[in-house]
């Protein structure tokens, strides 16, 4: 340890200075007593010897204290180094998973990854079914088996506040929960008026969508990544969630146009849900920029540009 300390330039220079000052002090005392006062008494020699002894005692305890402190610091580094190394490895693994999720992807890639093409198609078909049941139930028979087969790909649904209030709000605690039979409207004018108030407020999402959003939540939930990165991932996730609700917004608008564009049951053969994409694309929030921000943050956090210089 002493050999290692002696290799330190500042400690070595400090020792040289102290030795030089000691020698200078001794020489000064001897010269001053011999030539300036004309004599060097016994107690003066004792003073010089005591000074030398005190100096070396101070130097000894200083070296011991320094060695002790540095030994503790070295032991502390040695003790926690493996833990820090393992933590860093785990953190790199977390960053790697985030990079794999976002790397080299544009808007089209994220649309496909979160299965929005199938989500729009599935919900558009559900809108047509609602339209048929209101206006053409006698003319068109709905294939329930096909509907059930399509819904196998549904992993759940999100609902708007208005839809929730209209269909799921329970009565007050002092009211009896009675199932009321809704009177069926048969007057064409009233049916049309009711349809004008239609809101596509229950948006079905697919298994793939749920799988990918679960991955997002797991990435942001990692305790190994900085809070700033968590916030960026959560902002990306929020936009994806908003884009799911945008499906309902678009279909609500389309629903109001259907009585004009599809006035009879035969005209429904012209309904093409792929044509809804242009409208949907005008409503969604772009996420490619958010993905690039996440990748840039990781690059800066790990100082990759500095490492590859």
DSSP of 191-254: HHHHHHT----EEEEEHHHHHHHHHHHHHHH-TTS-HHHHHHHHHHHHHHHHHHHHHHHHHHHH
pLDDT category at 98 given cuts 50, 70, 90 is very high
pLDDT given at position 60? 62
- What is the predicted pLDDT for the residue at 162? 86
Q: Which residue has the higher pLDDT, 186 or 117?
A: 117
Of 281 and 50, the structure prediction assigns the larger pLDDT to 281
Model confidence at 55, pLDDT cuts 50, 70, 90, reads low
pLDDT, mean of residues 191-219 = 93
Segments making up each domain of the chain, as ranges: 2-86, 103-307
Span 204-214, average pLDDT: 96
**Residue scoring higher pLDDT (51 or 134):** 134
Higher pLDDT pick, 103 / 84: 103
Beta-carbon contacts of 157 under 8 Å, excluding residues fewer than 6 positions away, are 202, 203, 204, 205
Question: Which phi and psi (to 5°) does residue 249 adopt?
Answer: -65, -45
pLDDT at 224: 86
Percent of the chain predicted with pLDDT > 90:
43
Range with lowest mean pLDDT among 16-20, 206-210, 215-219: 16-20
Q: What is the pLDDT of residue 276?
A: 86
* CB-CB contact of 90 with 215 (8 Å): no
**Residue 269 pLDDT level (bands cut at 50, 70, 90):** confident
Do 88 and 58 contact (CB within 8 A), yes or no? no
Position 39 pLDDT exceeds 60? no
Strand partners, 204: 157
Whether pLDDT at 112 is above 70: yes
Residue bearing the bigger pLDDT, 20 or 291: 291
Q: Is the pLDDT of residue 219 over 80?
A: yes
Other Cβ atoms less than 10 A from the Cβ of 45: the count is 13
- What does the pLDDT read at residue 110? 96
Give dist(CA 261, CA 254) in Å, integer. 10
Distance CA 163, CA 198 (A): 10
What value does the mean pLDDT take over residues 130-139? 90
The average pLDDT across 200-214 equals 96
Residue 172 has pLDDT above 90, yes or no: no
Confidence class of residue 171 from pLDDT cuts 50, 70 and 90? low
What is each CA distance from 82 to 77, 78, 94, 151, in whole angstroms? 9, 8, 18, 51
Residue 148 has pLDDT above 80, yes or no: yes
Backbone phi, then psi, for 154, in 5-degree steps?
Answer: -85, 130
Average pLDDT, the chain: 80
pLDDT of 36 over the 90 cut:
no
Q: Name the pLDDT band for 273 (thresholds 50, 70, 90).
A: confident
């Amino acid at each position: 340890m002493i050999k290692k300390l002696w290799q330190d330039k500042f400690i070595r220079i400090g020792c040289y200075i102290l030795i030089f000052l000691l020698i200078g002090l001794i020489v000064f005392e001897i010269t001053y007593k011999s030539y300036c006062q004309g004599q060097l008494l016994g107690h003066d020699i004792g003073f010089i010897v005591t000074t030398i002894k005190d100096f070396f005692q101070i130097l000894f305890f200083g070296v011991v204290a320094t060695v002790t402190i540095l030994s503790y610091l070295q032991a502390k580094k040695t003790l926690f180094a493996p833990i820090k190394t393992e933590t860093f490895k785990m953190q790199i693994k977390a960053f790697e998973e985030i990079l794999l999720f976002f790397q080299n992807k544009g808007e089209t890639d994220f649309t496909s990854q979160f299965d929005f093409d199938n989500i729009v198609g599935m919900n558009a078909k559900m809108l047509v079914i609602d339209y048929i049941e209101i206006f053409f139930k006698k003319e068109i028979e709905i294939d329930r088996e096909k509907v059930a087969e399509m819904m196998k790909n549904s992993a759940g649904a999100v609902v708007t506040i208005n839809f929730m209030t209209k269909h799921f709000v329970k009565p007050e605690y002092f009211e009896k929960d009675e199932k009321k039979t809704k009177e069926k409207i048969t007057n064409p004018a009233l049916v049309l008026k009711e349809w004008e108030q239609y809101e596509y407020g229950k948006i079905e999402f697919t298994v793939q969508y749920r799988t990918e959003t679960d991955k997002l939540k797991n990435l942001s939930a990692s305790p190994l990544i900085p809070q700033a990165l968590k916030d960026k991932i959560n902002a990306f996730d929020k936009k994806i969630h908003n884009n799911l609700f945008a499906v309902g917004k678009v279909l609500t608008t389309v629903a109001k146009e259907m009585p004009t564009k599809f006035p009879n049951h035969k005209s429904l053969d012209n309904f093409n849900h792929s044509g809804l994409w242009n409208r949907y694309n005008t409503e969604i929030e772009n996420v490619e920029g958010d993905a690039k921000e996440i990748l840039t943050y990781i690059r800066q956090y790990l100082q990759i540009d500095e490492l590859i210089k």
